Amino acid sequence: MDAAEYKHVVLGLIFLKYISDAFGERYNFLLEEFADPQSQYYVKEETSRFEFAEDRDEYLAENVFYVPKEARWSYLQANAKQPQIGTLIDNAMLAIEQENPRLKGVLPKNYARPMLDKQRLGELVDLIGTVGLGGMFVQSEAFVELHGGRRDDISIYGQESNPTTRQLALMNLAIRGIDANLGMEHADSFHHDLHPDLKADYILANPPFNSSDWGGERLREDGRWVYGVPPPGNANFAWVQHFIYHIARTKWGWMY
C-alpha cells in the first residue's frame, strides 16, 4: 500500500490497539481482585470471576472503553492471517461504535475493500500488536491533573479543516473520556468558523503560519479584523486576530 493509504489504514488500527490495551489492563485488574481472598471483591467461583469481569459498568466507572470480544486486539491478531481479516476489523469498528454512540460515523470501516491487500493488512496487525501504545493520547488530561484540576473542570471547543486529522482528534478525546465540541464537520476556521460566538479562557493552536493562499481577499470586511485587515498574501496576522477575537475578557483585561 502507498504512503497515503497506509496513513488511513494505520489510524484506525492504532485506535483499536490502544482501547484494547486499556481494556485489558482493567480486565486483568478485575480478575486479580476477584481471585484475591483478601479483597473485598473476592469471588469464590472461578467461572463467575470471568462473568463479572465482563460487566460494562466496571469499565465505565474508571472511564475505560468496554471493548466487545470481537473488537479486542487479541482476537484480531489471532485472525490476522485469515483472508477475512478486513471484514473482522470492519466488524470491530462497528461494535465499538455501537458501544460508544459518540463515535458513530467517526471510525473507519473500509478494511474489507477489495483494493486493500489483506496479506499486508494482516502483517500490519501483527506489527502493531508488538508495539506498546500506552503513552499516546494522554497529554491534555495529564496537563489538567498536573495543575490541580480535574477533567470535568474544562470544556473543549475546536475545529479542524483536515477530515483525517479531525477523526484522529475525536478518537483521541474519546479514548481519554474528554467531552469536546469540534463542530459537526471539518471546516476552515477563517471561512467557516464553527464557533462564531465562543469566548474562551485559553486558546491552544498550531495553525499553518505563513500560508499565502488562505483566501484573505474574500474576507476584507470580516468582523474579526479589529486591529487592521490582514494582508491577503500571508495568514499570520489573521490567525493572531482570530485568536484575540475568541479570547474571553476577564477582570484583568485580556487573557492571553
Query: pLDDT (tens digit, 9 = 90+) per residue, 25-76?
Result: 999 999 999 999 999 999 999 999 999 999 999 998 888 889 999 999 999 9
Give dist(CA 137, CA 166) in Å, integer: 14
Residue 81 falls within a domain, yes or no?
Answer: yes
pLDDT at 72: 95
Residues 85 and 202 placed together within one structural domain of the fold? no
Query: pLDDT (tens digit, 9 = 90+) per residue, 188-240?
Result: 999 999 999 999 888 888 788 888 889 999 999 999 999 999 999 999 999 99
| Summary mean pLDDT of the chain | 84
Give dist(CA 20, CA 42) in Å, integer: 25
pLDDT at 149: 74
Determine the distance from the C-alpha atom of residue 91 to the mean position of all C-alpha atoms in its chain, rounded to a whole number. 19
Residues 53 and 101 placed together within one structural domain of the fold? yes
Residue 133 falls within a domain, yes or no?
Answer: no
Say yes or no to pLDDT of 3 above 60.
no
CATH no. for residue 98? 1.20.1260.30
Considering the chain, what percentage of its residues have pLDDT values greater than 70? 87
Q: Which single residue is written with the C-alpha cell 480478575?
A: 31
The domain tally of the chain equals: 2
Contact, 157 vs 200, CB < 8 A? yes
Residues 65 and 156 placed together within one structural domain of the fold? no
138-155 as b/e: b if 16+ CB within 10 A? eebbeebeeeeeeeeebe
Domain boundary among 105, 128, 151: 128
Domain boundaries, position 143: 139-254
Hey, how many other C-beta atoms are within 10 angstroms of the C-beta on 39?
11
Angle at 16 between CA 10 and CA 17, to 5 degrees: 85
Return the beta strands (E) in the chain as ranges. 156-157, 180-181, 249-250, 253-254
Residues 7 and 115 placed together within one structural domain of the fold? yes
Tell if the pTM clears 0.85, that is, is over it. no
Angle at 13 between CA 20 and CA 105, to 5 degrees: 95
Residues 9 and 84 placed together within one structural domain of the fold? yes
The DSSP string of 189-221 is: TTTS-S-TT--BS-------TT-S-S-GGG-TT
pLDDT at 65: 86
